[in-house]
Amino acid sequence: MHKIWLIIQREYTTRVKNKRFILVTFLMPVLIIGFGFGFGYLSTTGTEHRKIAVIDPNGFIKTSLKNTNQIEFSFPLEVDTLNYNKKGFTDILIIPKFDGVKKTDYILRSKKSMGLMLQNSITDKINGAIEDKMLQESGIQQSTLDSIHKASQFAELKAYEDKGSSSKESNAGLAMGIGYASGFLIYITLFIYGSMVMRGVMEEKTNRIAEVIISSVKPFELMMGKIIGIGAVGLTQFIMWIVLILTLSSVAMGFLPADVQHQVASLQQSNGQMGAGMMQASDAAKNIYTFQHTIQTANWPLILSCFVFYFLGGYLFYSALFAAVGSVVNEDPQDAQSLMFPITMPIIFSYLITNMVTQNPNTPLAFWASIIPFSSPMVMMARIAYGVPSAVSYWELALSMSILIGGFLFTTWLSGKIYRTGILLYGKKVNWKTMIKWAFKKQ
Amino acid sequence: MNPILSLQHLKKYYSDQKAVDDISFDIKEGSIFGLLGPNGAGKTTLLRMITGIFYPDGGDIILDGQKFNPIDDIQKIGYMPEERGMYKKMKIGEQALYLAQLKGLSKSDATEKIKYWFKKFEMESWWNKKVEDLSKGMSQKLQFVVTVLHEPKLIILDEPFSGLDPVNANLIKDEIFNLAKKGSTIIFSTHRMEQVEEICDHIVLVNLGKKILDGTVAEVKQQFKENIFSIQTSEPFTVQDNSIFNIVKTENNKIHVKIQEGYQSNDVLSYLLKEKVNIIGYNELLPSLNEIFIQLVEGTHASTRAFHAEN
């Protein structure tokens, strides 16, 4: 036991002291926060401004084409497709004569092509205008029309999940985000840390230090020491990221103008409901409050502890297999590629399933994929985000967890047998068939 | 004296061959023991069983009077494999410390011993260097140090001199003698026969998984001698083959003769004295280990076996 501890220490310290580890650990949260803020900033201010000249022989569309902060519509005369650019317009929209029956093409010509979102919003506006026109022609008053338009924005869905007698606000958008993010994180880390284990084993083998060490410790101790040491590196990195993200976001909050901070605080006190607070609050404060409020609806202790469990479980499950591959590879990295294929395929498939499950957590596919240990670390995280026990019942969670534990015990045992033979074997090309034969060979 | 290591009917079978097939021998404490054999003879498999890396399929290993236990006896053994290995990116001092601790030394004890050996081998300035900065010979020295650092009773060196310049080879050789004098037993595996003759007390030759020779260097030479004597004279002379000896080789003032069965070396001398030959040198020619080795191993297809090894 003492020796495996020495191995864990070495694997851990050599990696944590490594400059690249420190760089990635500190840069990643800065990048994430930076991207978040940068994206937010750009999406509100940095958008392009379009000046569109509209040629409309019908006349009734004009009222529907209202200016937004991105698009400015004008209805000039004497502008055509040849000269619109010279006259200071970015685009020209040509609306055909409307006959009320046929579907017709509306032509938009631009110097720089227009994004799909903008195009859709223009189409919607035109269609809305035509709809209004037709409704009016069938005898509906303009005032009636206006009140109908207002009514169509009355409803806002607020979902609650029932837990016995109490009910709690739930948020599908947040659940999807958490599920997707944690599934993605596990996906990435399985690859990063799994291949780190593999490269570590290959290094020991090609450096020929394996034999020196194996004369002091059992091969299984060397393999487990490496797996646990690197797993601890991964966990350290996660903890650092969480701490750094929390600190950085509170620092970022500190840079908000004082009145916004004050408004957010009063919104928090009043639970976001009070008219008095709401009336004075700016849009920014309301957004921040809503964001914070939404985040708080998730069951973070459960999600974080499940994340740690599934990260470790998935890591142990796959890294043992990566170690087995590393132990049979000789100097040729191409061998590693082809041997890794059967391990990377299930990881990639699981990731694809995770993407589906984040939108639909209760299909049979989601259930099975969250039980089978090859995919459960990612898929179960996507389901857990929707809530336990509302989306995932306790027995499902217990079953999935115990199968994952059983799974990594099995892969570790299997890989231990392969590793023992492989690590001292040089100059022979090994395939999975041989590896399986070693694994089930009587000692 | 009890042997430090005793192998009794040791066997290790791979799927398609018997790598070690019923090998037994004893090694005396404090001796320098040569384990010889061509490539693929089963030497490495044998050593790996002695170091606890492989479990034997049959037979017993008795270390220091007790059945060998790979977990508890690790500290009694120091093994330097033929293929040297170090973590290239790790600092040399830290690496030596790590390997010594894996052998069971405490951190302070290990540090002290590393400092002692680094000083002895003039390696003190290496502590913070990385292995990738060392030359092959330098890393060989480092490897030797980490092998003997924990003062094992049994030191196993697989080809310890390969890649060393004569100065460093001598340094290591002296240290091997030194360690033996202090009571360590050294198993020395090689196919460089001249080194074996120079260093080893006792040798065992294995081929195709079996022991084919066992004894002290002198015994083995006696066993394989062909009764050939060299006679040196002050001036050229001629003799014919006769009932006492055959002439094997003639140089100017020197002939090699092979004594016929039933005669002694003195019979040759008295024959030559009668012939009035003026003898200035007379000695027996013993075969070199190299010749014995080649004689025993040649034609057994030993080297082709290496390709099948370790499946």
| Tokens linked to A7 | 């191995």
pLDDT tens for each residue of A384-405:
888 777 778 889 999 999 999 9
- Winning range, highest mean pLDDT, from A20-29, A42-51, A251-260, B299-308: A20-29
Q: What percent of chain A has pLDDT over 70?
A: 89
Amino acid (1-letter code) at residue A211: E
Same domain, A183 and A318: yes
What B66-75 contacts at long range (C-beta under 8 Å, 24+ apart), as own/partner pairs, is B71/A218, B74/A215, B74/A216, B74/B103, B74/B104, B75/B103, B75/B104, B75/B150, B75/B152
Q: State which residues form the domain around A94.
A: 50-129
Residue A81 has pLDDT above 60, yes or no: yes
Q: What percent of chain A has pLDDT over 90?
A: 23
Residues of B in contact with A443 (CB under 8 A): 55
pLDDT at B302: 53
Residue A302 resides in a domain: yes
Residues of B in contact with A7 (CB under 8 A): 102
**Any CB–CB contact under 8 A between A208 and chain B?**
yes
Domain boundary among A97, A129, A161: A129
User: Helix, strand, coil shares of chain B as percentages rounded to 5?
Assistant: 35, 30, 35
Amino acid (1-letter code) at residue A238: F
Residue A212 has its nearest CB partner, among B52, B85, B88, at B85
ipTM field: 0.78
Same domain, A190 and A121: no
C-alpha distance from B82 to closest chain A C-alpha (Å): 9
**Any CB–CB contact under 8 A between B102 and chain A?**
yes
Residue of B53, B103, B162 to mutate, interface with A, max A Cβ within 10 Å: B53
Alpha carbons A285 and A272: distance in angstroms, whole number: 11
Q: Across the interface, do A217 and B102 touch by the CB < 8 Å criterion?
A: yes
Residue A273 has pLDDT above 60, yes or no: no
Residue of A13, A212, A437 to mutate, interface with B, max B Cβ within 10 Å: A212
pLDDT at A127: 83
Same domain, A321 and A409: yes
Same domain, A57 and A206: no
Residue A141 resides in a domain: no
**Any CB–CB contact under 8 A between B123 and chain A?**
no
Q: Across the interface, do A6 and B102 touch by the CB < 8 Å criterion?
A: yes
Domain boundary among A95, A129, A163: A129
Same domain, A88 and A212: no
Domain boundary among A112, A129, A146: A129
pLDDT tens for each residue of A88-138:
888 888 888 777 667 777 888 887 777 777 888 888 888 888 888 888 888
pLDDT at A337: 84
| Tokens linked to A135 | 């409704």
pLDDT at A173: 78
Residue A146 resides in a domain: no
Same domain, A189 and A320: yes
Q: A408 and A373 in contact (C-beta within 8 Å)?
A: yes
User: Between A99 and A83, where is the model more confident?
Assistant: A83
C-alpha distance from A372 to closest chain B C-alpha (Å): 34
Residue A215 has its nearest CB partner, among B52, B89, B90, at B52
Residue A36 resides in a domain: no
Count of CB pairs separated by less than 8 Å, A with B: 61
Residue of B83, B103, B148 to mutate, interface with A, max A Cβ within 10 Å: B83
Domains and CATH numbers, chain B: 3-88+152-222 (3.40.50.300), 226-285 (3.30.70)
pLDDT at A226: 94
Q: Across the interface, do B98 and A424 touch by the CB < 8 Å criterion?
A: no
Residue A207 has its nearest CB partner, among B55, B71, B86, at B86
Number of domains in chain A: 2
Residue A106 resides in a domain: yes
Q: Across the interface, do A3 and B102 touch by the CB < 8 Å criterion?
A: yes
- Report pTM: 0.77
Residue A407 has pLDDT above 90, yes or no: yes
Determine if the peptide bond prior to A389 is cis (ω within 30°): yes
Same domain, A365 and A423: yes
Q: Which residues contact A419 (CB under 8 A, 6 or more apart)?
A: A201, A219, A220, A223, A323, A324, A327
Q: How far is CA A17 from CA A4, A31, A193, A233, B9, in A?
A: 20, 21, 16, 10, 49
C-alpha distance from A411 to closest chain B C-alpha (Å): 22
Alpha carbons B89 and B102: distance in angstroms, whole number: 19
Same domain, A75 and A214: no
Residue A10 resides in a domain: no
pLDDT tens for each residue of B263-290:
888 888 888 888 888 888 888 888 888 8
pLDDT at A375: 93
Residues in chain B predicted with pLDDT less than 50, given as ranges, are: 303, 306-311
C-alpha distance from B27 to closest chain A C-alpha (Å): 20
C-alpha radius of gyration, chain A, whole number: 30
pLDDT at B310: 39
Residue A96 resides in a domain: yes
Residue A284 has pLDDT above 50, yes or no: yes
| Average pLDDT over every residue of A195-210 | 89
Same domain, A194 and A286: yes
User: Between A363 and A142, where is the model more confident?
Assistant: A363
pLDDT at B217: 86
Of residues B51, B59, B39, B85, the one with CA closest to residue B300:
B39
Alpha carbons B220 and B207: distance in angstroms, whole number: 16
Residue A296 has pLDDT above 60, yes or no: yes
Same domain, A117 and A229: no
Same domain, A321 and A241: yes
C-alpha distance from B308 to closest chain A C-alpha (Å): 10
Residues of A in contact with B140 (CB under 8 A): none
Q: Across the interface, do B53 and A14 touch by the CB < 8 Å criterion?
A: no
Same domain, A113 and A180: no
Residue of B47, B50, B101, B142 to mutate, interface with A, max A Cβ within 10 Å: B101
Residue B74 has its nearest CB partner, among A203, A216, A425, at A216
Residue A152 resides in a domain: no
